[in-house]
A = this chain, B = another copy of it.
């Protein structure tokens, strides 16, 4: 049996260096690789380029790395809810590339699927299109967008087995499977690590071939960003 298990977050991220390009799964604070982020903050690596849909909040998620000024550049679709982020951006310490959410997801998928570029209509006629090749198919314009090239993908799954197969839970799936496919080295942290044969092959979202290292996270806070409820009637 191929075994991808590492002892924990510190070992998993051991070779992430200053200047590395990382993908980080999650949407808002939902499905983010909490334990990897904690380990990255502890390790103190700098000048990271982070591809992630969002940038966390001031005191959670990628926000923790921003507090330590570990991030050189964010590639995201939406970066609100983060005062320190705003401060660094306005002061010029932090570089930000904003790209449409679907383009972000599809550029990850393209990497995982071995497609060097994809076509999307998102951004045609806007500043996102500046400098990009535009191509018309069937009367509609599309931008050519390139597959991402990331040194590491850090993803968070619900369950995983020791061979790297992953299952995500509910909308914490989001960017995680497409980023898992896209990293040169993919590190998966899971809430529950199980033996091979435990997961139904039909239920696996990310086949283990895409995952290089896996560990059970020591702690999951799973913070809620917008707690909305309805009254019981």
Cross-interface CB contact of A202 among B119, B142, B146, B169, cutoff 8 Å = B169
A79 located at the interface, meaning its Cβ lies under 8 Å from any Cβ of chain B in the complex: no
A116→B119 contact, CB < 8 A = yes
Cross-interface CB contact of A118 among B115, B167, B168, B170, cutoff 8 Å = B115
A138 located at the interface, meaning its Cβ lies under 8 Å from any Cβ of chain B in the complex: yes
A38 located at the interface, meaning its Cβ lies under 8 Å from any Cβ of chain B in the complex: no
Specify the chain B residue showing the minimal Cβ separation from A158: B202
Q: Mark A184-218, 1 if CB is under 8 A from B, else 0.
A: 00000000000000000111000000000000000
Expressed in whole angstroms, the minimum distance between the Cβ of A97 and any Cβ of chain B is: 20
A170→B201 contact, CB < 8 A = yes
- The answer for the CA separation of A114 and B118 in the assembled complex, in Å, is 10
Cross-interface CB contact of A115 among B120, B170, B203, cutoff 8 Å = B120
A142→B116 contact, CB < 8 A = yes
Expressed in whole angstroms, the minimum distance between the Cβ of A190 and any Cβ of chain B is: 15
Specify the chain B residue showing the minimal Cβ separation from A169: B202
Residues of B within 8 A of A173 (CB): 202
Residues of B within 8 A of A146 (CB): 137
A220 located at the interface, meaning its Cβ lies under 8 Å from any Cβ of chain B in the complex: no
- The answer for the CA separation of A138 and B110 in the assembled complex, in Å, is 14
Residues of B within 8 A of A137 (CB): 116-117, 146
**Given contacts A170-B202, A203-B203, are A117 and B119 in contact (CB under 8 A)?**
yes
Q: Mark A109-130, 1 if CB is under 8 A from B, else 0.
A: 0000111111111000000000
- The answer for the CA separation of A134 and B169 in the assembled complex, in Å, is 41
A106 located at the interface, meaning its Cβ lies under 8 Å from any Cβ of chain B in the complex: yes
Residues of B within 8 A of A138 (CB): 116
Ordered by A's residue number, 5 sampled pairs between the chains whose C-beta atoms are within 8 Å are A116-B137, A116-B138, A116-B142, A117-B137, A118-B118
Q: Please name the 9 residue pairs, one residue from A and one from B, whose CB atoms are nearest each other, closest first.
A: A116-B137, A203-B203, A115-B119, A115-B118, A116-B119, A117-B119, A116-B142, A169-B202, A117-B137
